[in-house]
Amino acid sequence: MAEAPRIAIDAMGGDGGLAVMLAGVALARRQWPGLTFDLVGDEAAINAALDQHPNLRAASEIIHAPETIDGSERAGQAIRRAKTTSMGIAIDAVKQGRAGAAVSAGNTGALMAMAKLALRTMPGIDRPALAALLPSLGEKDFVMLDLGANTECETRNLVEFAIMGAAYSRIALGIERPRVSLLNIGTEDQKGTEEIRDAAAALRAADHLHMNFDGFIEGDKIARGLTDVVVCDGFSGNISLKTMEGTARFVTDLLRRAFTSSIRSKFGFLISRPATELMRHHLDPDNHNGAVFLGLNGVVVKSHGSASPKGVANAVGVAAKLVDANITQRIAEDLALIKANGK
């Protein structure tokens, strides 16, 4: 990246708290040496923790926040404390132009509400969407959105999600014309809700966009490498994501149980260990950590609350890459194409 951005970190968010967040940011700093940070949270606690990370101390400024957002706190309550919490102050650093992006592993609903209120949606975007890279059987990962920001969506929202997801795919995966599909209960044209069918018609007509619309895709096909962007409402997306995560844990736990069931199984594990390690790495959620709220006037990345330092580092890397590639400008250009062509 030409000039590495400054990233505001909600240092107090996440299940592992300050220690995991700073360890992850320190790892990101080693992977991308040009990055600098605003570490937002309890100043005394951050100062003490930085003794373990001298490389991070040299690249960071501490911004004191007297309060934190609890994981069970309602979004409405959290918004009222935006000016005094580590999450709210980190987002405000993006709003003020001090930081290029904010990263938090805290309460997802509060983060979405605060980010939308502070940064507002881009012109031409009705609702932001939560997007993430997920593993597939193809050569590359795929983008999926919305993953929970909007439980109900209109046709317009789904079309906007497709535009934003395609822009994200071009940046994160390097695909010039991503294949875009709508998640549906079948692949036939008459299947699904009216909103999904109308969104499909609009995307088929929008051949001037930097994407290839591939129609509908069913849930059992989304991770097979058949598409680059899966578009859906947040209700379906969140259920799909958690089902995939649960299935991955089920498979790995089942294999672990099978390989420890007998002496012969343990011997088989030793023989197959390279393959099982490859599978474990491919399914490791830390390797795909970092969901982004697309459609805002600024970059906000959500790290999984249970992420390890490696996962936090990946979330920071996602934020840096999106700022460096100017994701908001990419989305704005495609929205302009839609407007210019009257679609």
Annotated domain spans of the chain? 1-125+295-325, 126-287
Distance CA 148, CA 306 (A): 18
CATH architecture of the domain 126-287 equals 3-Layer(aba) Sandwich (3.40)
Its sign, for the CA torsion 77, 78, 82, 84, is positive
**What pLDDT was estimated at residue 267?**
60
Question: Hey, what's the torsion of the CAs at 30, 284, 163, 115, to 10 degrees?
Answer: -60
Distance CA 213, CA 218 (A): 15
Distance CA 28, CA 311 (A): 10
CATH architecture of the domain 1-125+295-325 equals 3-Layer(aba) Sandwich (3.40)
DSSP-derived secondary structure for 173-206:
T--SS-EEEEE-S-SSTT-S-HHHHHHHHHHHH-
Instruction: Locate 282 and state its tokens.
Output: 């491919």
Reported as a single tens digit per residue, the pLDDT across 289-309 is: 889 999 999 999 999 888 899
Reported as a single tens digit per residue, the pLDDT across 199-214 is: 999 999 988 888 999 9
Reported as a single tens digit per residue, the pLDDT across 216-254 is: 999 999 989 999 999 999 999 999 988 888 887 787 777
Q: How confident is the model at residue 181 (pLDDT cuts 50, 70, 90)?
A: very high
Q: pTM for this one?
A: 0.87
pLDDT at 101 > cutoff 80: yes
**What pLDDT was estimated at residue 195?**
96
Q: How confident is the model at residue 178 (pLDDT cuts 50, 70, 90)?
A: very high
pLDDT at 264 > cutoff 70: no
Distance CA 238, CA 189 (A): 24
Q: How confident is the model at residue 138 (pLDDT cuts 50, 70, 90)?
A: confident
222 in helix, strand or coil? coil
